[in-house]
Structure 1
């Protein structure tokens, strides 16, 4: 959330006081390994995630709640905690690795929750609705959960693994109109956008087309990877298929901020690739214009590590 998903972080920080949410960032956290590392080296991946769990447990102030806004981070944290509870051998091996850094983690010590789950089920729809000063009336939205949050559902947090409704209910509480569509938990392609673009573009096209056919003005997500693929790679997908989809993709926290009366700029709106201004005009929100200049990838530093070889 510090880089490509900065609007997610900015919008979360902008609304936290409105929903009485106190946040404490883990100091010296490390990458969770994303979606790939578990397949490359399972035990090392669990140890990597276990370090974050141990740091959270040691640093937590009067709480055993650990939340993540990133779907991959949430899944890896929940998976490691759950599998350490179920597998004594894995627990011992992970703790042997953590001991090298003076750490230890007792599985179950932290309750891992996704940010959306926390907002919907702890703060609650009624409390959110009570904060709304600019209802999103007239805005049709497609709630997109992606494939990593609602399944596997380690602690029975969601009402359905295939057709969840938590975000739909949240968006309705904000005054928006959630559309009915069948692709809300389908995969966005993950890192296939880099590894196998043709595959990713097909998945992205299916999702964007599905949302548009359902009548959505925009897609609302809870995952940085999903937002990146559906937004940034929508442009590339259009080139690939010679299409012209223009479906903006925003975070649920940005929609909350708009309904709470925050300025679009303070919510990171305007940084997306597909301009959200036309859709947000329906709710009289003056979104900053998306920069027309092409965004170029920064050149790789001369001292950067080379990409690993595949043997």
Structure 2
């Protein structure tokens, strides 16, 4: 009897041990998985990064495709041919400066709006020519200086082509609407005749009314992390813009033998008009292109 009880107790112990073993193993595995997940969990996820940003940037034009080419002329004496050569500076050349705001919509798309000012580089043209024939002629030294400033508003969308933790490569497309702040040409003329007094003239051509400078912008760039909230970027940018002058005011002051003469005139540019009309004069409308391709760089602050 005692032997039978001993055998029965031994069998119960073995069964209990066998049933308890999977439970212990499962608890061990669960604790191991929880430990691993806890160790691999990131400190900060992308979802908690600041979705808004502001930026400031500068741009400098290297090329001005499709813009008007101006020429300088030179003549050494009245019997010599007049040589000419193109001017390297065109409208749209020179620096821009701007700011922008935007929001990060997803891991691949940002949308924003920028505002920049075309500061530009003055367009200078010199012409030194003789006018007349025989012994009666005059030498003209003519220097003109054209300046243009445009404020542009650019709603845009950015597509991230390649994204890494430390940087990403992107391309950006935007529509450009520009307001012409200043567009004028100043001319200085020195007339030296073979006989008689020298005449000096100063002319100001100011485009007082202009259409909006409309177009588009395209950019390819790289943005890189500088700190948790600050990024830097560099990009190649193309601007395509044009506008139509609507009205121009001309003022010329001429001085000869100490006597000054002032002349004023107004010209309107229209799609249809009358060449013979005066005060104001009428001329056909035309486009002024201010295209540019160059490099830009700036800083982005996320908040």
TM-score, with structure 1 as normaliser: 0.23
Bigger proportion of residues as helix: 1
Bigger proportion of residues as strand: 2
